[in-house]
Amino acid sequence: MTDSSPAPGGRRRRVDAQRNLHALVDAARTVFDTTGVDAPAKEIADLAGVGVGTLYRHFPLRSDLVKAVVESGIDAIAALGARLGAEEEPGDALKEWLRQYATFLGSKRGLAPALHSGDPAYKELPGYFLAKVGPALAALLDSAVAAGVVRDDVSADDVLYAVANLCMPVPVERPGYEPRRMVAVFADGLLGGGRRPPQDG
């Protein structure tokens, strides 16, 4: 019988490649946040501890790297929902997730020029976001509703868009505006004991 299992050297190369991939995405996220999406490739590669050639093997186009950074953040915020739901009380889990979601949105400001450029490489990202983050938030909301700490007439889409609006950039004449503080105010209102407001009439 012929052994078709990969040689140890092949496995090691795959592990190294995966490690480099993660290092490049992490480095790009950091560099994009500080320098912007047009930062030199060498700056990203140096921070990741790899050569520029390795960067281009994984991400031939800058849009490939930007997309990978965004998808990595989406994956992380979605996974956070499941983790918080398993570890925290429903109200606390939802409130902490909303705080982290606001931080996630803030971290994407440096990517805005690329994401709004019309590049077709990014056209699938909104759908990817909703498919991953929507269910994560819906599960947290369902648990909080079942626990009686959140009103039951607010959907995950309502909350996603409300927080996104709170985190939008504001004019320069409002330099003291802090989106995460306003998201905390919003979360306190959402976590109002599960009571609906009285109806008129």
CA 173 to chain centre: 28
Q: Quick one: pLDDT band at residue 201, thresholds 50, 70, 90? A: very low
The count of domains in the chain is 2
Which CATH number is 45's domain given? 1.10.10.60
Provide the domain limits for residue 38.
1-60
- Over the stretch 115-127, which tens digit does the pLDDT of each residue have? 778 889 899 999 9
Q: Quick one: pLDDT band at residue 20, thresholds 50, 70, 90? A: very high
Look over the chain and give the mean of its residue pLDDT values, rounded to a whole number: 86
The pTM for the full model equals 0.81
Q: Are residues 164 and 198 in the same domain?
A: yes
Residue that terminates a domain, selected from 60, 75, 94: 60
Which CATH number is 110's domain given? 1.10.357.10
- Over the stretch 22-81, which tens digit does the pLDDT of each residue have? 999 999 999 998 888 889 999 999 999 999 999 999 999 999 999 999 999 999 999 999
Q: Which residues of 166-189 are buried (b: 16+ CB within 10 A; e: fewer)?
A: bbeeeeeeeeeeebbeebeebbee
